Amino acid sequence: MNEQNSGILDAVIESEQAHALADFSPSQLVADILNQLKERERQILTLRYGLSSDNEQHTLEAIGKQLNLTRERVRQVEKDSIRQLKKDSGAQNLNKTMDIVRRTVLDHGGIFAQAALIDHLLVSDKTEKQINSLVFLLELSDHFITLQESDKYHLAWHLSDFDLNRLHTFHDAVKSIFESHGDPFNLETLKEKFQAHDIYAQDSSYYNDRVIENLLLISKHVKSNPFGEYGLHTWRVIAPRDVGDKAFLVLKHGKLPLHYTKITELINQHRFDERVAYKETVHNELIMDDRFVLVGRGIYALTEWGYKKGLVSDIIKEILAASQDPLDRNAIVEHVLKQRVVKRNTILVGLANKQLFKKVGKNKYTVV
């Protein structure tokens, strides 16, 4: 098959999958499947997997108390019911529907973080009922195996024939890239760095862009911040720990001084986490943090931009001290405005302080 025909076929397949996903309703399929069971079996699975109206996943012990059964008996009924559902004729409908999920996971490399898979499959109806139903179907299907959540990975599902070494080697390679460079990258740069790695060379046909992006979502050690930068989860520019870190990122990516109220607004807009920032807290944090400089009334800039702490008069003294000759008033104003967001008159008032500055000639000044 030539490249053009292959591209057309891929487009047709993607269109078919998109159409199938538009009609994908896990809860409806689960309801049909559970109807094959007896009342108690259906009740146990409904409570166990959060398929009832409260969407709560109950423990074996809680279910046992509710149904007057031992914990072990509930576990056995659950196990037997799952085995029965897999063998029943209704499983044909299950396999047909779950083939949509299987093809989706296969297209993304054979493994999918559960949260990302939910986002991908449940586009139009992401309710707790649909989510719990999808997880139940994954448990029921022989196609999928759980990758349990750990310090290294998020909870994920992979195809039964997926080689987990692919995930491990990818994870270790990307982590080593960041450790050796020490700085975050955008996604395109990260892909380029990985494509220059030995691991990519050994399996380049597997690691396409879609697979790389998907595998990144599984790793806990590599994360992205709201500005699309990837790095190690321990880096504060990737996973901000406090308001100061968030303000630093907002200013760094805004690339200009901002009032603390605007900084607060942007922190909340970017939703670094679930915590809400308040302008009073932000203002207090910026005052005490050496990464920030007050350059105007409530306006802050980053120290790394070359700004220095101090009053307007301190800035004037530095400018004049660095000059071998007296400076013209307009030149002084121009220099100060590069360090402070203030009105021209504020600078002239500071310059008029005769205890600090001496006028030399016409509109020229030097330090007393």
Could you tell me the CATH number of the domain that includes residue 322? 1.10.10
Does any domain span residue 237? no
How much is the pLDDT for 13? 44
Q: What is the CATH number of the domain that holds 45?
A: 1.10.10.10
Residues 62 and 38 in one domain: yes
Residue ranges of the chain with per-residue pLDDT less than 70: 1-23, 88-93
Does any domain span residue 251? yes
Place of tokens 């709201």: 226
Structural domain tally of the chain?
4
How much is the pLDDT for 28? 86
Residues 252 and 202 in one domain: no
Does any domain span residue 238? no
Residues 190 and 301 in one domain: no
Number of CB atoms found within 10 A of residue 37's CB: 19
Handedness of CA 170, 173, 179, 182 (dihedral sign): negative
Residues 149 and 20 in one domain: yes
Q: What is the pTM of this model?
A: 0.78
| Tens digit of each residue's pLDDT (9 = 90 or more) over 230-241 | 999 999 999 999
Does any domain span residue 111? yes
Residues 72 and 109 in one domain: yes
How much is the pLDDT for 131? 94
Residues 10 and 147 in one domain: yes
- Give residue 169's domain range: 164-231
Could you say which of 118, 139, 159 is where a domain stops?
Answer: 159
* CA distance readout (Å), 168 to 108, 156, 218, 221: 16, 13, 11, 12
In whole angstroms, give the CA distance from residue 168 to residue 44.
37
| Tens digit of each residue's pLDDT (9 = 90 or more) over 293-346 | 999 889 999 999 988 888 888 888 888 888 888 888 888 888 888 888 888 888
Could you say which of 113, 137, 159 is where a domain stops?
Answer: 159
Does any domain span residue 116? yes
Residues 224 and 323 in one domain: no
Could you say which of 178, 205, 231 is where a domain stops?
Answer: 231
Does any domain span residue 333? yes
- Identify the helix (H) or strand (E) that includes residue 301: strand 299-302
How much is the pLDDT for 309? 84
How much is the pLDDT for 52? 85
In whole angstroms, give the CA distance from residue 109 to residue 230.
20
How much is the pLDDT for 46? 94
Residues 154 and 10 in one domain: yes
